Amino acid sequence: MSLPPEDRPEFRLFGRSQGKPLSARQQGLVDHRLPQMTLPETGMIDPVALFPDSEARVLEIGFGGGEHLAGQADLHRKTGYIGIEPFLNGVAKAMTYVEDKDLENVRLWRGDAREALPRFADGVLDRIFLLFPDPWHKKRHAKRRFVQPNTRDDFARLLKPGGKLRIATDVKSYADHCMAEFEFDDRFAWQASTADDWRIPPADHITTRYETKGLGDCRPVFMDWVRV
């Protein structure tokens, strides 16, 4: 099993990596089940090798409590899902969904996706989700936002031609930030043609607990791009 984020000297996590103590069930899943379903500790991460019989491979970055990840994996059992989340309580919660739904098409990694993405093989993902990432409201903290030129490059490298990227946020400044990052990148084609395309949750969206809290300063914005 990989070292948790706080024990990796090269890892600088902005924010907490653990909250309240885990339940006995959750701790057991983390101790005994997670090592069997995590990503390789070193070397290349090849979703095709991880899910050789799957029809598609999907990555969700920062899956929170795992409601969306597990819900999608339950609906699409012939698709392999990889979830990356640094917060231990979120990983543990997601694992309860995986067990309750008997999901065999999920792999989880507790860590920072910025560490993992460079290890992914090229052009292996059919879809990437980044839903309600930490917006880092203050201007001086904007560099901590996940969407940056280097992660945009990672998205372009990892997605197959025609692969889909969805970013959702309920913070206007983050939505503006994302649009500015992708506006002039001809590797991605913006999918909205009317305002309702980003104001109304897509038909395949699964609402998360965080989303229902309404902690942001605007209604959720759903931004979809396709890798050209």
The catalytic residue positions are: 134
Q: Do the Cβ atoms of 220 and 169 come closer than 8 Å?
A: yes
Residue 189 β-bridge partners: 226
How many Å apart are CA 98 and CA 73, to the nearest integer? 9
Measured from the Cβ of residue 138, the count of other Cβ atoms closer than 10 Å reads 9
Q: Do the Cβ atoms of 143 and 221 come closer than 8 Å?
A: no
How many Å apart are CA 157 and CA 137, to the nearest integer? 28
Q: How far is CA 8 from CA 2, 30, 34, 124, in A?
A: 9, 18, 18, 27
Show the tokens assigned to 96: 């309860």
Q: Closest Cα to residue 158, out of 112, 108, 113, 118?
A: 118
Q: Do the Cβ atoms of 39 and 107 come closer than 8 Å?
A: yes
- Chain Cα centroid distance, residue 191: 20
How many Å apart are CA 83 and CA 10, to the nearest integer? 21
